[in-house]
Amino acid sequence: MAIRPIRLFGDPVLRQRSVPVVDFDKELRDLVRDLSDTMLDANGRGIAAPQVGVGLRVFTYVLDGEVGHVVNPLVEVVGDEEQVNQEGCLSIPGLPFDCRRHLQVVTSGFSMHGEPLRIDAHGQLSVIIEHETDHLDGILFVDRLDPQNRAAAEAAIRAAEWSGGVVPEIRLSPHAPLRPGSR
């Protein structure tokens, strides 16, 4: 069991686009196991490789005690229904905010052994998969908040002990409507 240090908001690695896994080797299997251990130790519902400083397209998740992982995930939205849930992030500890997500997604990808896998996700699992896949593109959940919650998140992060009073950039979600002057 190996727990790796979790990178916090402001660490540049969280803003980088991760690259696809090419070698399904022991190093990858160690990474997946360490991600699972680190996620469970921190009581998280998911963790992506960039959160432990590794720029590879891999994440783990846990729901109802069942731990899973996906390598090189490809997420497809199903339908146009949305959901709003209180969401948090191990890289933004202790600061949950309401976040809008798709209700249903289908994910295809690979296991750490290189076997193809597919997950039909709905509700909470969909939230986790959307959140973790965002990490692989350098997107954080605070980027997807509405303007009011984003302002609250900025203030809360600034006030958080771990941030040292510095608020690095919260980005506008690629899917957020453009509001001139809102940022």
For the annotated catalytic residues, the residue numbers are 132
Comparing every residue's Cβ against Zn ion, the nearest one is: 89
In the complex with Zn ion, the residue whose CB is nearer, 71 or 132, is 132
- Which among 8-16, 18-26, 81-89, 156-164 is the span making contact with Zn ion, rule CB under 5 A? 81-89
- Residue 7 CB, nearest distance to Zn ion (Å)? 10
**Residue with the two structure tokens 């600061």:** 95
- Residue 89 CB, nearest distance to Zn ion (Å)? 3
3-state secondary structure of 177: coil
Compute how many other C-beta atoms are within 10 angstroms of the C-beta atom of residue 157: 21
Residue numbers 106-145 binding Zn ion by CB under 5 A:
none
In the complex with Zn ion, the residue whose CB is nearer, 89 or 170, is 89
C-alpha angle 84/88/92, rounded to 5°?
140
- Which among 24-32, 88-96, 115-123, 165-173 is the span making contact with Zn ion, rule CB under 5 A? 88-96
Pairing of strands 66-77, 58-63: antiparallel
If binding is defined by CB under 5 A, does position 89 make contact with Zn ion? yes
If binding is defined by CB under 5 A, does position 56 make contact with Zn ion? no
The DSSP secondary structure of 94-141, one letter per residue, reads: EEEEEEEEESEEEEEEE-TTS-EEEEEEETHHHHHHHHHHHHHTT--G
Contact residues toward Zn ion (CB under 5 A) are 89
